[in-house]
Amino acid sequence: MDLYDAMRTTPAVREFTDDPLPDEVLHRILDHARFAPSGGNRQGTRIVVVRDAATRARLAELNEPAVRRYVAQIGAGQSPWNPLEPPLPTPEEIAATPVPESFTRPVLTAAAVLVVLVDLDLVAATDQHLDRVGLVSGASVYPLVWNVLLAARAEGFGGTITTMAVAEEPAVLELLGVPGHYALAAVVPLGRPVREVTRLRRVEVGEFVTRERFDGEPFLTGALRRDRG
């Protein structure tokens, strides 16, 4: 598959067929994905492949507290889980919010679930002292996760990056016997997609890229730039 085609047609897959994902294919996916960039080439990511039904059921349960807040905040007109404002719904309203099956089904129905962890001893978190939520540490793990999804696409499989279980990280680490100096980065269900997506909708480059400054002119070229001029 052409690289640009893969980049434009790799969706977030949440609905899977009953087809298995053989170990040989999954190993090939991970074998190619491992060449993602890593800060200092420290390669501090660990992945646990989970197929056991009971473990997956528990992972699905651990999604639920974060999903309740997510859904409740959307219902209140908020961007869910944003770090700049507290939830408008009360704790009682959040606790009473139903959990849509679509948030837990992928973990239960995927052919395999990857639990992605990062060794905090091996990340250079240069933003750790800023007065905001840390982001930089993700640079050492999420390129690998995206490579997994691209490689899965090449093999006829798909998946999605889920992070709801991260809110219950201590319970996930205990469930899988993970040492405490690891952080949970994502839970990635993988399987054969029910439907093939050939076109994704995204904003145009000029809508999120500017020249020289945040408030600079949109980054456009050729005819697009002349049309704006």
| Same structural domain, 185 and 220 | no
| Same structural domain, 112 and 129 | yes
Q: What's the pTM?
A: 0.92
| Same structural domain, 204 and 184 | no
d(CA 143, CA 139): 7
| Same structural domain, 206 and 179 | no
d(CA 188, CA 142): 11
- Per the CB < 8 A criterion, the answer to whether 103 and 110 are in contact is no
Q: What is the mean pLDDT of residues 128-135?
A: 94
- pLDDT the model gives residue 56: 98
What type of residue sits at position 137?
Answer: S
d(CA 198, CA 166): 30
pLDDT at 57 over 80: yes
Q: Which domain CATH number covers 53? A: 3.40.109.10
| Same structural domain, 204 and 91 | no
The string over 3-42, giving b where at least 16 C-beta atoms fall within 10 Å of a residue's C-beta and e elsewhere, is: eeeeeeebbebbebeeeebeeebbeebbebbeebebbeee
How many separate domains does the chain show? 2
- pLDDT the model gives residue 229: 58
| Same structural domain, 135 and 212 | no
Confidence of residue 41 (pLDDT cuts 50, 70, 90): confident
pLDDT in tens, 100-110: 999 999 999 99
- pLDDT the model gives residue 156: 95
pLDDT in tens, 178-217: 999 999 999 999 999 998 877 788 999 999 999 999 999 9
| Same structural domain, 101 and 167 | yes
| Same structural domain, 217 and 133 | no
Q: What is the mean pLDDT of residues 49-73?
A: 98
User: 188: how many CB neighbours lie within 10 A of its CB?
Assistant: 22
| Same structural domain, 134 and 229 | no
What type of residue sits at position 93?
Answer: E
| Same structural domain, 88 and 162 | yes
Sign, CA dihedral 104-106-110-113, equals negative
pLDDT at 226 over 60: no
- 99, 89, 91: which is closest to 63 by C-alpha? 99
d(CA 38, CA 183): 16
pLDDT in tens, 75-123: 999 999 999 999 999 999 999 999 999 999 999 999 999 999 999 999 9
pLDDT at 148 over 60: yes
pLDDT at 34 over 90: yes
| Same structural domain, 76 and 16 | yes
| Same structural domain, 182 and 206 | no
d(CA 43, CA 29): 17
Domain boundaries, position 219 = 199-229
